[in-house]
Structure 1
């Protein structure tokens, strides 16, 4: 759904699918150099892995914006992801707002950086 929303607003998107191993994800990012990398986790036990991916993507030299969302992120305390520098996206409405305006919303019920 996230890939479709970005496409709807004219972004060029490469959907990498679920369970992409980190080395392959990093290789693809280095090759393509996207402005935004969006990740999600549906299951809470994957949050530690999500944090690893976030940290690796934030360390890339070309500094993409890293967005994280999904059911597990929404039901968890996402402060650790927020503190890492990733944007926590609560739902598609907040993502659409960010895509349209590029601005950080003023409250924590929107997108949090």
Structure 2
């Protein structure tokens, strides 16, 4: 917890090099990508979000911290994940990720995309604020095995059932992963989702278990 507190202050200071030093130290200590993302970056950004909501920091502070985290995540992919995956086949399937329309917070889905890359998937990340029509077009053309979508607040989460319906009507065999903070809110409107095709991911451990199970031939 102390490391998360210190890392939070580093992000708020906008110190990109110090943030990267923290991450490299974790890598050198043998910390997995999942733990770095779930136990360091994510808790720090959640804390920053709370500070902003409680007016302890300004929106400028929040943007600086987010930009610093963006930098750290991009550097992690290029300096850690890609060298690890060099000459390793991407034979686990194709995975497509995005945030639903009007959802601008894409750090979480970017972390998920990198975890899938490290797990041997060919990945396309379409980022924030994507209307379902563009998801359908990309999926028709690229033919992914997995589609993952994210939403944070209930206002964005209310769009998820229509995305699920449109995707399930168009693609019979695609597996859908649904994540984001909205899943912890009441009235998240997903009771009718076909759980044979749709998996809700609320915790990092659930995603790790899902990936491991799928690699063994399950779901």
With structure 1 as the length reference, what TM-score do the two structures score? Answer: 0.81
Contiguous gaps of at least 5 residues in structure 2 = 1-110
8 A Cα contact 1:41 1:69, kept in partner: yes
Q: How many aligned residue pairs are there?
A: 103
Q: CA deviation at 1:90?
A: 1.2
Map residues 1-113 of structure 1 onto 2, 5 A cutoff: 1-78=111-188, 80-85=189-194, 86-102=198-214, 103=218
Q: Alpha-carbon deviation of 1:30?
A: 0.6
Aligned partners of 1:37, 1:76: CA distance in 2, in Å? Answer: 24
1:10-46 deviations in Å (ceiling 9; x for gaps): 1001001111111111000111111110011111111
Measured after TM superposition, the shift of residue 72 of structure 1 is 0.6
SS at match of 1:83: coil
- In 1, distance between residues paired with 2:210 and 2:187? 21
- SS of residue paired to 1:81: coil
The alpha-carbon distance between structure 1 residues 69 and 61, as it changes in their structure 2 partners (threshold 3 A), is closer
Greater RCO (Cα-Cα under 8 Å, separation 6 or more): 1
Alpha-carbon deviation of 1:77? 4.5
**How far did 1:49 drift?**
1.0
Shift in CA distance, 82/32, structure 1 to aligned 2, threshold 3 Å: farther
CA RMSD of aligned residues (A): 1.7
TM-score, normalising length from structure 2?
A: 0.44
Aligned-pair CA distance for 1:69? 0.9
Structure-2 separation of matches of 1:37 and 1:17: 13
Segments of 4+ in structure 1 off by > 4 A? none
